[in-house]
Structure 1
Protein backbone atom coordinates (compact mmCIF):
# COMPACT_ATOMS: atom_id res chain seq x y z
CA UNK A 1 0.00 0.00 0.00
CA UNK A 2 1.49 3.40 -0.91
CA UNK A 3 2.38 5.80 1.88
CA UNK A 4 -0.30 8.47 1.61
CA UNK A 5 1.76 10.88 3.73
CA UNK A 6 4.64 11.06 1.28
CA UNK A 7 4.72 13.92 -1.21
CA UNK A 8 4.01 12.70 -4.72
CA UNK A 9 6.76 14.77 -6.32
CA UNK A 10 10.41 15.19 -5.43
CA UNK A 11 10.13 18.97 -5.80
CA UNK A 12 7.16 21.16 -5.11
CA UNK A 13 5.77 23.26 -7.95
CA UNK A 14 5.43 26.92 -6.91
CA UNK A 15 1.85 26.91 -8.18
CA UNK A 16 1.01 23.87 -6.02
CA UNK A 17 2.35 25.62 -2.96
CA UNK A 18 0.46 28.77 -3.90
CA UNK A 19 -2.82 26.85 -4.16
CA UNK A 20 -2.26 25.23 -0.76
CA UNK A 21 -1.34 28.60 0.75
CA UNK A 22 -4.61 30.03 -0.53
CA UNK A 23 -6.52 27.33 1.36
CA UNK A 24 -4.77 28.31 4.59
CA UNK A 25 -5.43 31.97 3.82
CA UNK A 26 -9.11 31.16 3.36
CA UNK A 27 -9.19 29.46 6.76
CA UNK A 28 -7.53 32.50 8.31
CA UNK A 29 -10.10 34.77 6.70
CA UNK A 30 -13.05 32.57 7.66
CA UNK A 31 -12.13 31.90 11.28
CA UNK A 32 -9.48 34.44 12.23
CA UNK A 33 -11.17 37.48 10.67
CA UNK A 34 -14.71 36.10 10.20
CA UNK A 35 -14.79 37.12 6.55
CA UNK A 36 -16.73 34.12 5.27
CA UNK A 37 -17.76 35.31 1.78
CA UNK A 38 -14.21 36.40 0.97
CA UNK A 39 -12.91 33.11 2.33
CA UNK A 40 -15.25 31.13 0.07
CA UNK A 41 -14.01 33.06 -2.95
CA UNK A 42 -10.39 32.36 -2.01
CA UNK A 43 -11.19 28.66 -1.55
CA UNK A 44 -12.76 28.53 -5.01
CA UNK A 45 -9.63 30.10 -6.52
CA UNK A 46 -7.41 27.69 -4.57
CA UNK A 47 -9.26 24.60 -5.77
CA UNK A 48 -9.41 25.88 -9.36
CA UNK A 49 -5.69 26.61 -9.35
CA UNK A 50 -5.00 23.20 -7.86
CA UNK A 51 -6.99 21.48 -10.58
CA UNK A 52 -5.10 23.37 -13.26
CA UNK A 53 -1.69 22.58 -11.79
CA UNK A 54 -2.37 18.99 -10.75
CA UNK A 55 -5.78 17.36 -10.82
CA UNK A 56 -4.95 15.25 -7.77
CA UNK A 57 -3.96 18.36 -5.82
CA UNK A 58 -7.16 20.14 -6.77
CA UNK A 59 -9.26 17.19 -5.67
CA UNK A 60 -7.50 17.01 -2.30
CA UNK A 61 -7.80 20.75 -1.74
CA UNK A 62 -11.51 20.42 -2.50
CA UNK A 63 -11.80 17.92 0.36
CA UNK A 64 -10.13 20.33 2.77
CA UNK A 65 -12.30 23.17 1.46
CA UNK A 66 -15.43 21.11 2.06
CA UNK A 67 -14.53 20.61 5.71
CA UNK A 68 -13.71 24.28 6.18
CA UNK A 69 -16.96 25.42 4.58
CA UNK A 70 -19.03 23.06 6.72
CA UNK A 71 -17.42 24.39 9.91
CA UNK A 72 -17.79 28.00 8.80
CA UNK A 73 -21.56 27.59 8.47
CA UNK A 74 -22.10 27.16 12.22
CA UNK A 75 -21.23 29.43 15.18
CA UNK A 76 -17.81 28.53 16.57
CA UNK A 77 -18.26 29.20 20.29
CA UNK A 78 -17.73 27.56 23.67
CA UNK A 79 -21.46 27.42 24.38
CA UNK A 80 -22.27 24.07 26.06
CA UNK A 81 -26.05 24.19 25.62
CA UNK A 82 -27.78 21.22 24.02
CA UNK A 83 -28.71 23.16 20.89
CA UNK A 84 -25.21 24.45 20.23
CA UNK A 85 -23.47 21.18 21.04
CA UNK A 86 -25.74 19.37 18.57
CA UNK A 87 -25.29 22.03 15.88
CA UNK A 88 -21.52 22.34 16.18
CA UNK A 89 -21.12 18.60 16.79
CA UNK A 90 -23.01 17.79 13.58
CA UNK A 91 -20.78 20.15 11.62
CA UNK A 92 -17.67 18.60 13.15
CA UNK A 93 -18.80 15.11 12.17
CA UNK A 94 -19.56 16.20 8.59
CA UNK A 95 -16.27 18.10 8.27
CA UNK A 96 -14.39 14.88 8.96
CA UNK A 97 -16.79 12.38 7.40
CA UNK A 98 -17.11 14.09 4.01
CA UNK A 99 -13.36 14.09 3.15
CA UNK A 100 -13.03 10.54 4.49
CA UNK A 101 -16.00 9.20 2.54
CA UNK A 102 -15.11 10.97 -0.70
CA UNK A 103 -11.44 9.96 -0.58
CA UNK A 104 -12.36 6.34 0.07
CA UNK A 105 -15.46 5.72 -1.99
CA UNK A 106 -15.37 8.41 -4.69
CA UNK A 107 -11.66 8.98 -5.31
CA UNK A 108 -10.83 5.38 -4.40
CA UNK A 109 -7.41 6.19 -2.91
CA UNK A 110 -8.42 6.15 0.78
CA UNK A 111 -5.96 8.97 1.53
CA UNK A 112 -7.74 10.05 4.71
CA UNK A 113 -7.20 7.49 7.45
CA UNK A 114 -7.44 7.41 11.23
CA UNK A 115 -4.67 5.04 12.38
CA UNK A 116 -5.70 4.00 15.89
CA UNK A 117 -3.75 0.75 16.14
CA UNK A 118 -0.38 0.89 14.44
CA UNK A 119 1.20 -2.14 16.09
CA UNK A 120 4.18 -0.03 17.17
CA UNK A 121 5.16 0.26 20.82
CA UNK A 122 5.68 3.74 22.16
CA UNK A 123 9.30 4.60 22.87
CA UNK A 124 10.62 5.87 26.20
CA UNK A 125 10.85 9.33 24.72
CA UNK A 126 7.22 9.20 23.60
CA UNK A 127 6.10 8.00 27.03
CA UNK A 128 8.17 10.71 28.66
CA UNK A 129 6.55 13.34 26.48
CA UNK A 130 3.14 12.23 27.73
CA UNK A 131 4.32 13.11 31.23
CA UNK A 132 5.86 16.40 30.14
CA UNK A 133 2.75 17.66 28.32
CA UNK A 134 0.46 18.12 31.37
CA UNK A 135 3.37 19.60 33.34
CA UNK A 136 3.90 22.14 30.58
CA UNK A 137 0.18 22.88 30.57
CA UNK A 138 0.23 23.32 34.36
CA UNK A 139 2.94 25.96 34.07
CA UNK A 140 1.67 27.73 30.96
CA UNK A 141 -2.12 27.59 30.85
CA UNK A 142 -2.99 29.37 34.13
CA UNK A 143 -0.71 32.28 33.20
CA UNK A 144 -2.28 32.52 29.76
CA UNK A 145 -5.94 31.85 30.53
CA UNK A 146 -6.21 33.79 33.78
CA UNK A 147 -3.53 36.41 33.19
CA UNK A 148 -5.17 37.58 29.96
CA UNK A 149 -8.76 37.02 31.05
CA UNK A 150 -9.33 34.71 28.08
CA UNK A 151 -11.00 32.17 30.38
CA UNK A 152 -14.07 34.42 30.30
CA UNK A 153 -14.66 33.23 26.73
CA UNK A 154 -15.74 29.93 28.29
CA UNK A 155 -18.97 29.54 30.28
CA UNK A 156 -18.79 29.88 34.06
CA UNK A 157 -20.00 26.48 35.23
CA UNK A 158 -20.28 25.39 38.84
CA UNK A 159 -22.99 22.74 38.80
CA UNK A 160 -22.21 19.06 38.11
CA UNK A 161 -24.04 19.03 34.77
CA UNK A 162 -22.33 22.18 33.54
CA UNK A 163 -18.92 20.88 34.54
CA UNK A 164 -19.63 17.57 32.81
CA UNK A 165 -20.66 19.43 29.66
CA UNK A 166 -17.48 21.51 29.74
CA UNK A 167 -15.38 18.39 30.20
CA UNK A 168 -17.14 16.65 27.33
CA UNK A 169 -16.84 19.68 25.09
CA UNK A 170 -13.11 20.18 25.64
CA UNK A 171 -12.37 16.51 25.05
CA UNK A 172 -14.55 16.08 21.97
CA UNK A 173 -13.09 19.22 20.42
CA UNK A 174 -9.56 18.03 21.16
CA UNK A 175 -10.20 14.72 19.41
CA UNK A 176 -11.81 16.48 16.46
CA UNK A 177 -8.83 18.81 16.08
CA UNK A 178 -6.61 15.79 15.50
CA UNK A 179 -9.09 14.05 13.19
CA UNK A 180 -9.50 17.10 10.96
CA UNK A 181 -6.37 19.22 11.09
CA UNK A 182 -3.85 16.41 11.44
CA UNK A 183 -5.37 13.24 9.94
CA UNK A 184 -7.24 15.07 7.18
CA UNK A 185 -5.69 18.46 6.35
CA UNK A 186 -2.07 17.61 7.11
CA UNK A 187 -2.28 14.20 5.46
CA UNK A 188 -3.83 15.58 2.27
CA UNK A 189 -1.34 18.44 2.03
CA UNK A 190 1.52 16.05 2.74
CA UNK A 191 0.69 14.16 -0.46
CA UNK A 192 1.73 17.17 -2.53
CA UNK A 193 4.09 19.22 -0.36
CA UNK A 194 7.21 18.56 1.71
CA UNK A 195 6.46 17.80 5.34
CA UNK A 196 7.54 21.20 6.68
CA UNK A 197 5.37 23.12 4.22
CA UNK A 198 2.31 20.95 4.86
CA UNK A 199 2.84 21.31 8.60
CA UNK A 200 3.17 25.10 8.50
CA UNK A 201 -0.05 25.38 6.50
CA UNK A 202 -2.13 22.98 8.60
CA UNK A 203 -1.01 24.87 11.71
CA UNK A 204 -2.43 28.10 10.25
CA UNK A 205 -5.85 26.45 9.92
CA UNK A 206 -5.56 24.80 13.35
CA UNK A 207 -4.72 28.14 14.97
CA UNK A 208 -7.33 30.15 13.08
CA UNK A 209 -10.12 27.83 14.14
CA UNK A 210 -9.17 27.86 17.82
CA UNK A 211 -8.76 31.64 17.74
CA UNK A 212 -12.36 31.85 16.54
CA UNK A 213 -13.34 29.52 19.37
CA UNK A 214 -11.95 31.89 21.99
CA UNK A 215 -8.18 31.48 22.33
CA UNK A 216 -7.37 35.17 21.92
CA UNK A 217 -4.57 37.42 23.21
CA UNK A 218 -1.26 35.59 22.72
CA UNK A 219 -3.00 32.22 22.53
CA UNK A 220 -2.32 31.82 18.78
CA UNK A 221 1.40 31.66 19.54
CA UNK A 222 0.86 28.69 21.86
CA UNK A 223 -1.59 26.99 19.52
CA UNK A 224 0.57 27.42 16.43
CA UNK A 225 3.55 25.86 18.20
CA UNK A 226 1.35 23.05 19.53
CA UNK A 227 -0.10 22.39 16.06
CA UNK A 228 3.38 22.21 14.54
CA UNK A 229 4.51 19.71 17.17
CA UNK A 230 1.38 17.61 16.69
CA UNK A 231 1.96 17.45 12.94
CA UNK A 232 5.60 16.50 13.46
CA UNK A 233 4.68 13.80 15.99
CA UNK A 234 2.06 12.37 13.65
CA UNK A 235 4.59 12.28 10.84
CA UNK A 236 6.94 10.28 13.07
CA UNK A 237 4.48 7.95 14.79
CA UNK A 238 1.69 7.69 12.18
CA UNK A 239 -0.50 7.19 15.26
CA UNK A 240 -3.79 9.00 15.83
CA UNK A 241 -3.94 7.38 19.26
CA UNK A 242 -0.71 9.01 20.37
CA UNK A 243 -1.46 12.55 19.17
CA UNK A 244 -4.94 12.32 20.70
CA UNK A 245 -3.43 11.26 24.04
CA UNK A 246 -1.08 14.24 23.91
CA UNK A 247 -3.93 16.60 23.08
CA UNK A 248 -6.31 15.27 25.73
CA UNK A 249 -3.67 15.45 28.45
CA UNK A 250 -3.12 19.12 27.61
CA UNK A 251 -6.86 19.72 27.40
CA UNK A 252 -7.42 18.09 30.80
CA UNK A 253 -5.22 20.76 32.35
CA UNK A 254 -7.13 23.35 30.30
CA UNK A 255 -10.39 22.03 31.76
CA UNK A 256 -9.04 22.26 35.31
CA UNK A 257 -7.81 25.80 34.72
CA UNK A 258 -11.22 26.86 33.40
CA UNK A 259 -13.01 25.40 36.42
CA UNK A 260 -10.45 27.00 38.72
CA UNK A 261 -10.70 30.39 37.00
CA UNK A 262 -14.46 30.53 37.45
CA UNK A 263 -14.48 28.94 40.91
CA UNK A 264 -11.29 30.13 42.62
CA UNK A 265 -12.05 28.51 45.97
CA UNK A 266 -12.58 25.02 44.54
CA UNK A 267 -9.26 24.00 43.04
CA UNK A 268 -6.28 25.42 44.85
CA UNK A 269 -3.54 23.61 42.96
CA UNK A 270 -2.60 26.37 40.54
CA UNK A 271 -0.10 29.02 41.51
CA UNK A 272 -1.82 31.72 39.43
Structure 2
Protein backbone atom coordinates (compact mmCIF):
# COMPACT_ATOMS: atom_id res chain seq x y z
CA UNK A 1 0.00 0.00 0.00
CA UNK A 2 1.35 3.41 -0.93
CA UNK A 3 1.40 5.89 1.93
CA UNK A 4 1.27 9.48 0.78
CA UNK A 5 2.62 12.41 2.81
CA UNK A 6 3.93 10.29 5.71
CA UNK A 7 5.71 13.38 7.03
CA UNK A 8 2.47 15.36 7.53
CA UNK A 9 2.17 16.25 11.20
CA UNK A 10 -1.25 15.38 12.59
CA UNK A 11 -0.24 16.27 16.16
CA UNK A 12 2.42 18.95 15.58
CA UNK A 13 3.04 19.64 19.27
CA UNK A 14 4.30 16.05 19.64
CA UNK A 15 5.69 15.60 16.15
CA UNK A 16 3.28 12.73 15.49
CA UNK A 17 2.93 12.26 11.76
CA UNK A 18 0.60 10.49 9.40
CA UNK A 19 3.32 7.89 8.98
CA UNK A 20 3.33 7.21 12.73
CA UNK A 21 -0.48 6.87 12.70
CA UNK A 22 -0.11 4.38 9.82
CA UNK A 23 2.43 2.34 11.79
CA UNK A 24 0.27 2.49 14.92
CA UNK A 25 -2.74 1.09 13.08
CA UNK A 26 -0.59 -1.78 11.92
CA UNK A 27 0.88 -2.52 15.34
CA UNK A 28 -2.43 -2.29 17.25
CA UNK A 29 -4.42 -4.39 14.77
CA UNK A 30 -4.28 -7.67 16.73
CA UNK A 31 -6.06 -6.18 19.75
CA UNK A 32 -8.23 -3.61 17.94
CA UNK A 33 -9.69 -5.78 15.20
CA UNK A 34 -11.90 -7.96 17.45
CA UNK A 35 -13.66 -4.75 18.56
CA UNK A 36 -14.23 -3.30 15.07
CA UNK A 37 -14.47 -6.30 12.74
CA UNK A 38 -17.73 -6.46 10.73
CA UNK A 39 -18.95 -3.16 12.19
CA UNK A 40 -19.78 -0.35 9.72
CA UNK A 41 -17.27 2.48 10.08
CA UNK A 42 -17.76 6.25 9.89
CA UNK A 43 -14.43 7.93 9.20
CA UNK A 44 -13.30 10.99 11.16
CA UNK A 45 -10.76 12.39 8.68
CA UNK A 46 -8.20 15.18 8.78
CA UNK A 47 -6.36 16.73 5.85
CA UNK A 48 -3.96 18.60 8.13
CA UNK A 49 -3.27 18.88 11.85
CA UNK A 50 -6.08 17.64 14.09
CA UNK A 51 -6.25 21.07 15.69
CA UNK A 52 -7.28 22.55 12.36
CA UNK A 53 -10.48 20.50 12.29
CA UNK A 54 -11.65 17.56 10.24
CA UNK A 55 -14.81 16.04 8.85
CA UNK A 56 -16.90 12.89 9.07
CA UNK A 57 -17.45 10.60 6.11
CA UNK A 58 -19.84 7.66 6.05
CA UNK A 59 -19.60 6.66 2.38
CA UNK A 60 -16.50 4.66 1.43
CA UNK A 61 -13.90 7.07 -0.02
CA UNK A 62 -13.50 7.07 -3.77
CA UNK A 63 -10.69 4.94 -5.14
CA UNK A 64 -10.83 2.39 -2.34
CA UNK A 65 -8.95 -0.82 -3.21
CA UNK A 66 -11.10 -3.78 -4.18
CA UNK A 67 -9.96 -5.63 -1.04
CA UNK A 68 -11.63 -3.07 1.24
CA UNK A 69 -14.88 -4.68 2.29
CA UNK A 70 -18.04 -2.59 2.59
CA UNK A 71 -21.64 -3.03 3.65
CA UNK A 72 -24.80 -1.28 2.48
CA UNK A 73 -26.64 0.49 5.28
CA UNK A 74 -30.15 1.75 4.45
CA UNK A 75 -31.03 5.41 4.88
CA UNK A 76 -34.17 7.41 4.14
CA UNK A 77 -33.28 8.18 0.53
CA UNK A 78 -31.14 5.18 -0.40
CA UNK A 79 -28.10 3.43 1.06
CA UNK A 80 -24.66 4.28 2.44
CA UNK A 81 -21.69 2.06 1.67
CA UNK A 82 -19.72 1.88 4.92
CA UNK A 83 -16.21 0.50 5.21
CA UNK A 84 -15.69 -2.66 7.24
CA UNK A 85 -12.31 -2.56 9.01
CA UNK A 86 -11.79 -6.31 9.02
CA UNK A 87 -8.02 -6.65 8.72
CA UNK A 88 -4.75 -4.91 9.39
CA UNK A 89 -4.29 -3.48 5.93
CA UNK A 90 -7.75 -1.89 6.02
CA UNK A 91 -6.92 -0.21 9.34
CA UNK A 92 -3.75 1.12 7.74
CA UNK A 93 -5.63 2.16 4.62
CA UNK A 94 -7.91 4.22 6.87
CA UNK A 95 -4.80 5.97 8.19
CA UNK A 96 -3.76 6.66 4.60
CA UNK A 97 -7.15 8.38 4.19
CA UNK A 98 -6.31 10.65 7.12
CA UNK A 99 -8.82 8.83 9.33
CA UNK A 100 -7.68 9.43 12.89
CA UNK A 101 -10.74 7.90 14.57
CA UNK A 102 -12.82 5.13 12.99
CA UNK A 103 -16.24 5.30 14.66
CA UNK A 104 -18.20 2.03 14.56
CA UNK A 105 -21.76 0.71 14.88
CA UNK A 106 -22.92 -1.14 17.99
CA UNK A 107 -24.12 -3.91 15.67
CA UNK A 108 -22.40 -6.09 13.08
CA UNK A 109 -22.98 -6.17 9.34
CA UNK A 110 -24.87 -9.48 9.21
CA UNK A 111 -27.55 -8.22 11.65
CA UNK A 112 -27.55 -4.44 11.55
CA UNK A 113 -30.83 -4.29 13.47
CA UNK A 114 -29.58 -6.47 16.36
CA UNK A 115 -26.93 -4.72 18.49
CA UNK A 116 -24.38 -6.75 20.40
CA UNK A 117 -23.14 -3.75 22.39
CA UNK A 118 -24.88 -1.26 24.65
CA UNK A 119 -22.99 1.94 25.46
CA UNK A 120 -23.52 4.53 28.19
CA UNK A 121 -21.28 7.58 27.75
CA UNK A 122 -20.57 9.36 31.02
CA UNK A 123 -20.09 12.97 29.96
CA UNK A 124 -18.85 15.26 32.75
CA UNK A 125 -19.87 18.89 33.20
CA UNK A 126 -16.69 19.67 35.17
CA UNK A 127 -13.08 18.45 35.32
CA UNK A 128 -13.81 16.26 38.37
CA UNK A 129 -12.82 12.87 36.97
CA UNK A 130 -13.18 11.21 40.38
CA UNK A 131 -16.90 11.90 40.08
CA UNK A 132 -16.94 10.23 36.66
CA UNK A 133 -15.27 7.15 38.11
CA UNK A 134 -17.88 7.05 40.87
CA UNK A 135 -20.67 7.37 38.31
CA UNK A 136 -19.23 4.49 36.29
CA UNK A 137 -19.21 2.27 39.38
CA UNK A 138 -22.83 3.22 40.16
CA UNK A 139 -23.75 2.42 36.59
CA UNK A 140 -21.98 -0.91 36.78
CA UNK A 141 -23.72 -1.88 40.01
CA UNK A 142 -27.12 -1.09 38.50
CA UNK A 143 -26.36 -3.09 35.37
CA UNK A 144 -25.22 -6.12 37.36
CA UNK A 145 -28.41 -5.89 39.40
CA UNK A 146 -30.41 -6.63 36.24
CA UNK A 147 -28.13 -9.46 35.12
CA UNK A 148 -25.81 -7.64 32.71
CA UNK A 149 -21.99 -7.47 32.77
CA UNK A 150 -20.46 -3.99 32.45
CA UNK A 151 -17.03 -3.08 31.08
CA UNK A 152 -15.36 0.33 31.39
CA UNK A 153 -13.24 2.30 28.92
CA UNK A 154 -11.62 5.70 29.25
CA UNK A 155 -12.42 7.47 26.01
CA UNK A 156 -9.26 9.45 25.39
CA UNK A 157 -11.43 12.54 25.75
CA UNK A 158 -13.07 13.59 29.06
CA UNK A 159 -15.29 10.72 30.11
CA UNK A 160 -15.85 7.00 30.48
CA UNK A 161 -17.87 4.60 28.37
CA UNK A 162 -19.65 1.82 30.22
CA UNK A 163 -20.10 -0.93 27.64
CA UNK A 164 -22.31 -4.01 27.92
CA UNK A 165 -21.96 -7.01 25.57
CA UNK A 166 -25.36 -8.28 24.46
CA UNK A 167 -26.74 -11.38 22.88
CA UNK A 168 -28.37 -10.34 19.63
CA UNK A 169 -31.94 -11.03 20.71
CA UNK A 170 -33.47 -7.53 20.62
CA UNK A 171 -33.98 -4.96 17.87
CA UNK A 172 -32.00 -1.73 17.96
CA UNK A 173 -35.08 0.32 18.86
CA UNK A 174 -35.79 -1.94 21.82
CA UNK A 175 -32.20 -1.60 23.04
CA UNK A 176 -32.33 2.19 22.69
CA UNK A 177 -35.62 2.38 24.61
CA UNK A 178 -34.37 0.04 27.33
CA UNK A 179 -31.15 1.93 28.00
CA UNK A 180 -32.95 5.28 27.93
CA UNK A 181 -35.30 4.06 30.66
CA UNK A 182 -32.38 2.56 32.59
CA UNK A 183 -30.47 5.86 32.47
CA UNK A 184 -33.55 7.84 33.53
CA UNK A 185 -34.07 5.57 36.56
CA UNK A 186 -30.40 5.74 37.53
CA UNK A 187 -30.34 9.53 37.23
CA UNK A 188 -33.51 9.81 39.31
CA UNK A 189 -31.93 7.69 42.04
CA UNK A 190 -28.82 9.91 42.06
CA UNK A 191 -30.25 13.24 40.94
CA UNK A 192 -27.60 15.23 42.79
CA UNK A 193 -24.77 13.84 40.63
CA UNK A 194 -26.32 12.31 37.49
CA UNK A 195 -28.67 13.60 34.81
CA UNK A 196 -30.23 12.73 31.47
CA UNK A 197 -30.77 16.41 30.68
CA UNK A 198 -29.74 17.03 27.06
CA UNK A 199 -29.16 20.78 27.43
CA UNK A 200 -25.82 21.60 29.04
CA UNK A 201 -27.11 24.73 30.76
CA UNK A 202 -29.57 22.59 32.71
CA UNK A 203 -27.09 19.99 33.95
CA UNK A 204 -25.35 22.12 36.60
CA UNK A 205 -22.32 20.07 37.74
CA UNK A 206 -23.98 16.71 37.15
CA UNK A 207 -22.67 13.97 34.88
CA UNK A 208 -24.71 13.41 31.74
CA UNK A 209 -25.73 9.81 31.03
CA UNK A 210 -25.60 9.91 27.24
CA UNK A 211 -27.32 6.92 25.64
CA UNK A 212 -27.92 8.39 22.18
CA UNK A 213 -25.21 6.23 20.61
CA UNK A 214 -27.57 3.24 20.93
CA UNK A 215 -30.02 4.56 18.35
CA UNK A 216 -30.16 3.17 14.81
CA UNK A 217 -27.13 3.93 12.60
CA UNK A 218 -25.30 5.76 15.39
CA UNK A 219 -21.63 5.11 16.07
CA UNK A 220 -19.23 4.94 19.01
CA UNK A 221 -15.49 5.26 19.51
CA UNK A 222 -14.01 1.74 19.61
CA UNK A 223 -11.21 0.49 21.84
CA UNK A 224 -7.71 1.61 20.86
CA UNK A 225 -8.91 4.31 18.47
CA UNK A 226 -6.76 7.47 18.53
CA UNK A 227 -8.55 10.72 19.30
CA UNK A 228 -7.98 14.12 17.64
CA UNK A 229 -6.97 15.74 20.91
CA UNK A 230 -3.65 16.99 22.31
CA UNK A 231 -0.90 14.34 22.53
CA UNK A 232 -2.87 11.67 20.57
CA UNK A 233 -4.70 9.89 23.41
CA UNK A 234 -6.40 6.59 22.63
CA UNK A 235 -9.63 5.05 23.89
CA UNK A 236 -8.43 2.49 26.42
CA UNK A 237 -10.30 -0.50 27.88
CA UNK A 238 -9.90 -0.95 31.62
CA UNK A 239 -10.01 -3.73 34.11
CA UNK A 240 -13.06 -2.80 36.20
CA UNK A 241 -11.02 -2.44 39.38
CA UNK A 242 -8.99 0.34 37.77
CA UNK A 243 -11.97 2.62 38.35
CA UNK A 244 -10.83 2.71 41.99
CA UNK A 245 -7.47 4.20 41.02
CA UNK A 246 -7.23 7.90 41.89
CA UNK A 247 -4.44 8.28 39.33
CA UNK A 248 -6.64 7.16 36.45
CA UNK A 249 -7.10 9.78 33.71
CA UNK A 250 -9.53 9.82 30.77
CA UNK A 251 -6.68 10.50 28.37
CA UNK A 252 -3.81 8.84 30.18
CA UNK A 253 -2.64 6.55 27.37
CA UNK A 254 -1.54 7.72 23.97
CA UNK A 255 -0.71 6.36 20.56
CA UNK A 256 2.89 6.10 21.77
CA UNK A 257 2.30 4.57 25.22
CA UNK A 258 -0.61 2.13 24.82
CA UNK A 259 1.76 -0.62 23.69
CA UNK A 260 3.57 -0.49 27.03
CA UNK A 261 0.27 -0.84 28.86
CA UNK A 262 -0.72 -3.89 26.84
CA UNK A 263 2.67 -5.46 27.46
CA UNK A 264 2.36 -4.81 31.19
CA UNK A 265 -1.14 -6.31 31.34
CA UNK A 266 -0.25 -9.23 29.11
CA UNK A 267 -2.83 -8.28 26.49
CA UNK A 268 -6.22 -6.68 26.03
CA UNK A 269 -8.32 -6.59 29.23
CA UNK A 270 -11.42 -6.86 27.04
CA UNK A 271 -10.21 -9.92 25.14
CA UNK A 272 -13.06 -12.05 26.50
CA UNK A 273 -15.80 -9.43 26.42
CA UNK A 274 -17.97 -11.39 23.96
CA UNK A 275 -18.19 -14.35 26.35
CA UNK A 276 -19.90 -12.04 28.87
CA UNK A 277 -22.83 -11.30 26.52
CA UNK A 278 -26.28 -11.60 28.07
CA UNK A 279 -29.79 -11.13 26.73
CA UNK A 280 -31.21 -7.69 27.43
CA UNK A 281 -33.86 -7.93 30.18
CA UNK A 282 -37.49 -7.44 29.26
CA UNK A 283 -39.32 -4.39 30.49
TM-score, normalised via structure 1 length:
0.28
Q: Which has the higher helix share?
A: 1
Kindly indicate which of the two structures has a greater share of residues assigned to strand: 2
Flag the structure with more relative contact order, 1 or 2, with Cα contacts below 8 A and sequence separation at least 6.
Answer: 1
Q: How does the TM-score come out when normalised to structure 2?
A: 0.27
